[in-house]
C-alpha cells in the first residue's frame, strides 16, 4: 500500500446544468439603454441563460448527478459535498445540505464555501486538502448561481453581465507514486471589504422577471429577493489584470511546471478582454484558453466547472494534460489550481 503522501485527488467526473431560456442582447435593448454592439465590444457576451423554474440547489443537483454518473460512483459513496453559491436559496441550511438531499448522498458531510466568483477554486482547494489528508476518499465540489435574481435591472452596466447555471466535479482519492490530479492549489484574499463588488439590499419596486403567462423576460426584481449585486467594473478589471499573472506564476511554480507547459488555462469568464489579456501577455495559443462567455455570460463561481465539463464532454481533455483553473471575485478573493488530467 502507498503511504498517505502518495494520495492524489483526481477529478474523475464532471457535470453541468444550463437553463433553457436564452436572454440575448437584443432583448436587453427593450429594457435598458444599451445595444448588442455596446455589450459585445465591452464584454464579449452575446447571450446568457436564465433559470425560470428551479431553485439553485436543484440546478446544482442536476449538474452533480451528471458528474457522479460520469465518475462511475454511487451517491452513497460520497464522503463530502462542498458547494459555492454567491446567491444561495436560503441563508441556512447550507445549499450543500439541500444538494445532499437532492442527490441522495446519505453518508456525506455537507457545507458551503463563500468566495464569490472564486468559489469553485476555494472548494477545490478544500476538497484536495481533505483527500490528501486521508480524511475523505470521494468529494463532490459544485457551484451554482442564479445571478439574474440578484441583478439590478436599473443598472445597465452590470445587469447585462450575468447569467445562470451550475457545474460540478467529483474528486476521488488515488494512491500512486505518479503525480496526478490536483498538483497544486493557491487561494488568497485582499482586504477590500465591499468597496469594489458586493451584494446589497435596496428598496426597489418588486416585479416578476418573467410574465407569469407568457414567460417573457421583462426585467425587474424577483419578489422574494431585495438584494442586488453591484460592482465597480473598471476597478475590478484593474484588480484582475494585476493579480492574474502572479497567481498563474505561483500556482504553476508550486506544481513544478511552467505556464508554457499548460495544455489549457480555464479562467473565470468575467470579461472577454481579461481572457485576451492573458493570451497576449504570455503569447499563448488561443485554443489553450477556451472561452464560452459569449453563450452564458458571467455565471460567477459556476463558470470554471461549466467550462471544464464542456471540454471534458467534448473529448478535448486527454490523460496527462496539464490544466490550470483560475477564479477571482468579490472579497477580493482569488484562487487557482493546476491539475494533471
pLDDT digits (tens, 9 = 90+) for 141-155: 999 999 887 777 777
Q: Which of 25, 117, 148, 309 is catalytic?
A: 117
Q: How many CB atoms lie within 10 A of CB 191?
A: 7
Confidence of residue 218 (pLDDT cuts 50, 70, 90): low
Q: How confident is the model at residue 217 (pLDDT cuts 50, 70, 90)?
A: low
The dihedral of CA 29, 34, 36, 39: what is its sign? Answer: negative
Which residues face 50 on adjacent strands? 21
> Would 325 be classed as within a structural domain?
yes
Domain identity same for 270 and 148: no
Same domain assignment for residues 137 and 158: yes
User: Do residues 174 and 235 both lie within one domain?
Assistant: no
Q: Does some domain include residue 218?
A: no
User: Kindly report the CA angle at 315 between 313 and 319, in degrees rounded to 5?
Assistant: 115
Half-sphere exposure of 185 (CA within 13 A, CB side): 20
**CB-based contacts of 216: which residues, under 8 Å, 6+ apart?**
210
Question: Among candidates 83, 161, 148, 81, which has minimal Cα distance to 115?
Answer: 83
Q: Which of 171-180, 193-202, 253-262 has the highest mean pLDDT?
A: 253-262
Domain co-membership, 143 together with 192: no
Is 198 a residue whose pLDDT tops 50? no
Q: Are residues 82 and 54 in the same domain?
A: yes
Tell me, yes or no, whether 212 lies in a domain. no
Same domain, 65 and 48: yes
> What confidence score (pLDDT) does residue 226 get?
52
Name residue, grid cell 455537507: 110
Same domain for 268 and 129: no
* pLDDT score at 241: 85
| 3-class secondary-structure state, position 14 | strand
Is 70 exceeded by the pLDDT of residue 195?
A: no
Element (H, E) at 337: strand 333-340
Does 193 share its domain with 135? no
Mean pLDDT of the region 180-186: 95
Residue 228, C-beta contacts closer than 8 angstroms, at least 6 positions apart: 150, 151, 152, 155, 199, 200, 201, 202, 204, 221
Look at 178 and 283; give whichever has higher pLDDT.
Answer: 283
pLDDT, tens digit (0-9, with 9 covering 90-100), for 260-313: 999 999 999 988 988 999 999 999 999 999 999 999 999 999 999 999 999 999
**Angle in degrees, CA 245, 313, 105, rounded to 5:** 95
**Is residue 13 in a domain?**
yes
The answer to whether 142 and 113 are in contact (CB under 8 A) is no
Evaluate whether 197 touches 329 at the Cβ level (below 8 Å): yes
User: Is residue 127 assigned to a domain?
Assistant: yes
Please say which residue of 116, 143, 178 terminates a domain. Answer: 178
Mean pLDDT of the chain: 87
Tell me whether residue 283 is in a domain: yes
**Once rounded to an integer, what is the mean pLDDT over residues 199-225?**
44
- Axis crossing angle, helix 272-282 with helix 233-255, rounded to the nearest 10: 40
In a shared domain, residues 151 and 164:
yes
Q: Is the pLDDT of residue 193 over 60?
A: no
- What average pLDDT does the segment 307-321 reach? 97
117 a catalytic residue: yes
Do 151 and 265 lie in one domain? The reply is no
Question: Over pLDDT 90: what percentage of the chain?
Answer: 65
Chain segment 46-63, per-residue pLDDT in tens: 999 999 899 999 999 999
Residue entry with cell 472561452: 291
**Which of the four pLDDT bands, split at 50, 70 and 90, describes residue 213?**
low
Does residue 217 fall inside a structural domain? no
The answer to whether 268 is a known catalytic residue is yes
* DSSP bridge pairs for 335: 187, 327
15 half-sphere exposure, CB direction, 13 A CA radius? 25
- Which three cell numbers mark 148? 439574474
Contact between 274 and 329 (Cβ < 8 Å):
no
Looking at the structure of the chain, the number of domains it has is 2
Nearest Cα to 308, choosing from 252, 269, 278?
269
pLDDT band at 208 (very low <50, low <70, confident <90, very high): very low
Task: Decide if pLDDT at 227 tops 80.
Answer: no
What would the pLDDT profile of 4-42 be if each residue is shown by its tens digit? 578 999 999 999 999 999 999 998 888 788 899 989 998
3-state secondary structure (DSSP) of residue 103: helix
Residue 340 and residue 275 in contact, taking contact as beta carbons nearer than 8 Å: no
Q: Are residues 34 and 123 in the same domain?
A: yes
Q: Given the residues 158, 268, 309, 312, select the one marked as catalytic.
A: 268
The answer to whether residues 125 and 96 touch, using CB atoms and an 8 Å cutoff, is: no
Is residue 223 situated within a structural domain? no
* Helices 303-313 and 56-71, packing angle to 10 deg: 40
Full residue range of the structural domain in which residue 187 is found: 183-201+230-340
The residue whose grid cell reads 423576460 is 217
Of 158, 271, 298, 312, the catalytic one is 298
- Distance CA(53)–CA(55), nearest Å, equals 7
Q: pTM, whole model, 2 decimals?
A: 0.88
**247/337 Cα distance (integer angstroms):** 10
Which band of pLDDT confidence, cut at 50, 70 and 90, is reported for residue 229?
Answer: low
Same domain for 189 and 70: no
- CATH number of 262's domain: 3.40.47.10
Q: Pick the range with the lowest mean pLDDT from 183-192, 229-238, 323-332.
A: 229-238
Amino acid at each position: 500500500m502507498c503511504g498517505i503522501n502518495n494520495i492524489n485527488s483526481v477529478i474523475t467526473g464532471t457535470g453541468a446544468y444550463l437553463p433553457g431560456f436564452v436572454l440575448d442582447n437584443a432583448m436587453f435593448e427593450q429594457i435598458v439603454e444599451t445595444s448588442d454592439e455596446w455589450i459585445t465590444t465591452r464584454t464579449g457576451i452575446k447571450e446568457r441563460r436564465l433559470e425560470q423554474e428551479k431553485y439553485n440547489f436543484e440546478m446544482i443537483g442536476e449538474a452533480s448527478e451528471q458528474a457522479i454518473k460520469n465518475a462511475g460512483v454511487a451517491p452513497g459513496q460520497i464522503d463530502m459535498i462542498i458547494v459555492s453559491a454567491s446567491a444561495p436559496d436560503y441563508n441556512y441550511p447550507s445549499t450543500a445540505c439541500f444538494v445532499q438531499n437532492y442527490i441522495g448522498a446519505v453518508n456525506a458531510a455537507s457545507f458551503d464555501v463563500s468566495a464569490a466568483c472564486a468559489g469553485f477554486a476555494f472548494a477545490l482547494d478544500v476538497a484536495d486538502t481533505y483527500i490528501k489528508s486521508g480524511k475523505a476518499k470521494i468529494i463532490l465540489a459544485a457551484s451554482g448561481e442564479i445571478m439574474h435574481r440578484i441583478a439590478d435591472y436599473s443598472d445597465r452596466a452590470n445587469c447585462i453581465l450575468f447569467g445562470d447555471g451550475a457545474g460540478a466535479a467529483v474528486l476521488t482519492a488515488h494512491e500512486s507514486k505518479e503525480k496526478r490530479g490536483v498538483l497544486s492549489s493557491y487561494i488568497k484574499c485582499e482586504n477590500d471589504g465591499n468597496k469594489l463588488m458586493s451584494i446589497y439590499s435596496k428598496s426597489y419596486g418588486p416585479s416578476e422577471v418573467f410574465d407569469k403567462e407568457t414567460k417573457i423576460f421583462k426585467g425587474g426584481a424577483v419578489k422574494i429577493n431585495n438584494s442586488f449585486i453591484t460592482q465597480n467594473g473598471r476597478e475590478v478589471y484593474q484588480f484582475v489584470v494585476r493579480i492574474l499573472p502572479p497567481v498563474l506564476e505561483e500556482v504553476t511554480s508550486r506544481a513544478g511546471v511552467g505556464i508554457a507547459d499548460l495544455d489549457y488555462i480555464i479562467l473565470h469568464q468575467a470579461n472577454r478582454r481579461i481572457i485576451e489579456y492573458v493570451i497576449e501577455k504570455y503569447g499563448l495559443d488561443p485554443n489553450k484558453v477556451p472561452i464560452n462567455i459569449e453563450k452564458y455570460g458571467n455565471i460567477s463561481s459556476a463558470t470554471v466547472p461549466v467550462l471544464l465539463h464542456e471540454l471534458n464532454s467534448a473529448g478535448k481533455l486527454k490523460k496527462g494534460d496539464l490544466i490550470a483553473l483560475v477564479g477571482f471575485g468579490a472579497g477580493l478573493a482569488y484562487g487557482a489550481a493546476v491539475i494533471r488530467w
